[in-house]
């Protein structure tokens, strides 16, 4: 039989607070900005986790493309882009098994704790020099993110058993924690990593995660029963779950070791993973439509999800250039001198989160105002707007790179304008996607559809790294980039973003028909 989870020490210090709160107590708890006190624990846990992740992300491709004498890793730009894409892609992909592990084995409370420990260990491993420690550190961070990211959000929802508008508002507060951490991280880790020591920058990202873990454990008493009760089933089912997990880990480890010892180029690994994700997704949709036992209406709605899936993948393939190719442009082709002091390139990675914090309330009020006027765009229309704004942002960078090809260091304002347009696009597409999929998915397949939806982000991130890898200068040093190559790839992304967005805009009505009454 499964052990009594109410006394589980891995649940943090929940028991110290006298056990879980009743639904009525949770409704009355308004001690944190009108929300349950436990929201502050999860708010700061996620804030420090995002500090750690975005602190690492801001340095990652800059560190890899820096020359070895300058403390960098020294691979060519194509390999660096592939590593970047695999890292951010797997960080999203592993949210699926991370959620399963929490649901079936250890609960969300312990999953967040273990995930945070892996993330901290990964960053401290990156702080040690060496190629082996570099790859090991990235692997630990990816696994930890897969455990922590989906489950901390799940616990936020469990703090609101009454549901309703207060729950939605709680997630809005929680979302601010995400972007606060993402805003702070590049300012600190970037300053240290670029100007003092790359490895020390990664260590600071690890310290941030440790701070998050400390307050998570100390604040566990405010979480009540949130995340304490996984659906383990009976002892036989629990044993099967553990066996399946260990078998899956063994398969992944064997595949990784085989790839390592076979010396498969990292660019081929990234390309192979992209093909694998596309194949799995295509096979999934085909199977569901043919053998899923769906009604005609459900099949139409699944078709709409497939259209939005492709739109999302295209968007994230462009958007994730922020941490890769655009980060390299900031480092090598941008004039960052301000009153005689050179601004760290990674500081520009804070522009996007700052804009999200500033513009998210504006976007929310805009949708409400349009809704009251009966003018709010449909979900496909919002996706089209997001893609057009993505393309417009890269059109701005095309103009900047035309100047850069003439040997001119461009102003950082080009990047700021691009990030502004991309942020507006993100607000138009990203929050809408999750909500729309939950409405369109057949009720018995909501979990599967949400899982496949996360694959769109992973696919986009993988493609983003491979696109960024083409920015390298032909015949130049390993990490040197070319303004002409940047102009070429930004032109391609502009065409794809604008082209797909305008195409989707033309087909908004047919896609709405596929949605079969879902608004």
Question: What per-residue confidence (pLDDT) applies to 364?
Answer: 80
The 10s digit of each residue's pLDDT in 332-360 is 999 999 999 999 999 999 999 999 999 98
Give the mean pLDDT of 78-82. Answer: 94
Cβ 40 vs Cβ 222: under 8 Å = yes
Q: Which residues contact 356 (CB under 8 A, 6 or more apart)?
A: 179, 182, 423, 426, 427
pTM: 0.88
Task: Express as a percent the part of the chain with pLDDT over 90.
Answer: 61
Q: How far is CA 29 from the centre of its chain?
A: 31
Residue 12 in this model has a pLDDT that exceeds 80: no
pLDDT at 15: 35
pLDDT in tens, 134-150: 999 999 999 999 999 88
Render pLDDT for 421-448 as a digit per residue (tens, 0 to 9).
Answer: 999 999 999 878 877 887 888 887 776 7
* Under 8 Å between Cβ of 190 and 58: yes
> What integer is the mean pLDDT of 283-288?
92
Count of CA atoms in the C-beta half-sphere (13 A) of 86: 22
Report helix angle 296-319 to 483-506, nearest 10.
160
Q: What pLDDT sits at residue 439?
A: 85
More confident residue, 33 or 292: 292
Model confidence at 301, pLDDT cuts 50, 70, 90, reads very high
- What domains can you pick out in the chain, each with its CATH number? 31-231 (1.20.1250.20), 265-519 (1.20.1250.20)
Q: Answer whether 374's CB lies under 8 Å from 348's CB.
A: no
Strand-pairing partners, residue 410, are 334
Contacts 24+ apart (CB under 8 A), 357-365: 357/176, 357/179, 357/180, 357/183, 359/423, 359/424, 359/427, 360/172, 360/175, 360/176, 360/179, 360/427, 363/424, 363/427, 363/428, 364/172
pLDDT digits (tens, 9 = 90+) for 165-174: 677 677 778 8
What would the two tokens of residue 353 be? 């989160």
**Percent with pLDDT over 70 in the chain:** 92
pLDDT at 394 exceeding the cut of 90: yes
How sure is the predictor about 402, in pLDDT bands with cuts at 50, 70 and 90?
A: very high
Q: How far apart are CA 320 and CA 419, in angstroms?
A: 11
Residue 147 CA to residue 160 CA, distance in Å, equals 22
pLDDT at 21 over 70: no
CB 124 within 8 A of CB 144: no
Of 444, 440, 471, the closest CA to residue 308 belongs to: 440
């Amino acid at each position: 039989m499964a052990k009594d989870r109410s006394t589980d020490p891995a649940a943090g210090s929940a028991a110290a607070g006298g056990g879980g709160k009743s639904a009525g107590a949770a409704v009355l708890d308004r001690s944190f900005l009108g929300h349950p006190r436990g929201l502050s624990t999860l708010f700061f846990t996620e804030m420090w986790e995002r500090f750690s992740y975005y602190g690492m992300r801001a340095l990652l491709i800059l560190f890899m493309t820096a020359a070895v004498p300058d403390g960098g890793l020294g691979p060519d730009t194509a390999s660096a882009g592939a590593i970047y894409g695999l890292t951010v892609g797997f960080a999203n992909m592993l949210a699926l098994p991370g959620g399963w592990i929490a649901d079936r084995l250890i609960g969300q409370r312990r999953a967040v704790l273990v995930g945070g420990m892996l993330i901290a260990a990964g960053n401290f491993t990156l702080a040690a020099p060496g190629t082996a420690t570099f790859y090991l550190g990235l692997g630990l961070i990816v696994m930890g993110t897969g455990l922590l990211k989906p489950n901390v959000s799940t616990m936020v929802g469990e703090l609101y058993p009454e549901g309703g508008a207060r729950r939605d508002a709680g997630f809005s507060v929680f979302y601010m924690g995400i972007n606060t951490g993402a805003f702070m991280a590049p300012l600190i880790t970037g300053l240290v990593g670029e100007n003092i020591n790359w490895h020390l920058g990664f260590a600071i990202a690890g310290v941030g995660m440790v701070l998050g873990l400390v307050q998570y454990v100390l604040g566990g008493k405010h979480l009540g029963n949130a995340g304490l009760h996984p659906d383990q089933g009976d002892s036989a089912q629990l044993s099967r779950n553990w066996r399946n997990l260990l078998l899956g880990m063994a398969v992944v480890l064997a595949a990784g070791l085989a790839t390592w010892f076979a010396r498969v180029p990292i660019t081929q690994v990234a390309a192979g993973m992209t093909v694998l994700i596309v194949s799995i997704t295509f096979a999934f949709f085909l199977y569901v439509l043919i053998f899923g036992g769906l009604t005609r209406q459900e099949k139409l709605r699944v078709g709409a999800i497939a259209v939005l899936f492709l739109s999302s993948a295209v968007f994230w393939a462009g958007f994730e250039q922020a941490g890769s190719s655009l980060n390299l442009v900031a480092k090598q082709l941008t004039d960052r001198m301000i009153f005689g002091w050179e601004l760290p390139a990674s500081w520009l990675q804070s522009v996007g989160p700052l804009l999200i914090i500033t513009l998210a309330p504006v976007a929310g009020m805009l949708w409400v105002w349009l809704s009251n006027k009966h003018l709010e765009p449909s979900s496909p229309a919002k996706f089209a707007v997001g893609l057009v704004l993505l393309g417009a942002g890269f059109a701005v960078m095309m103009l900047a790179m035309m100047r850069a090809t003439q040997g001119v260091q461009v102003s950082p304002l080009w990047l700021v304008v691009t990030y502004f347009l991309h942020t507006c696009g993100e607000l138009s597409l990203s929050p809408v996607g999750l909500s729309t999929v939950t409405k369109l998915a057949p009720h018995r397949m909501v979990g599967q559809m949400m899982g496949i939806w996360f694959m769109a982000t992973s696919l986009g991130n993988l493609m983003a790294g491979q696109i960024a890898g083409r920015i390298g200068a032909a015949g130049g040093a390993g990490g040197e980039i070319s303004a002409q190559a940047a102009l070429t790839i930004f032109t391609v992304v502009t065409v794809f973003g604008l082209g797909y967005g305008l195409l989707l805009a033309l087909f908004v009505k047919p896609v709405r028909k596929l949605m079969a009454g879902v608004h």
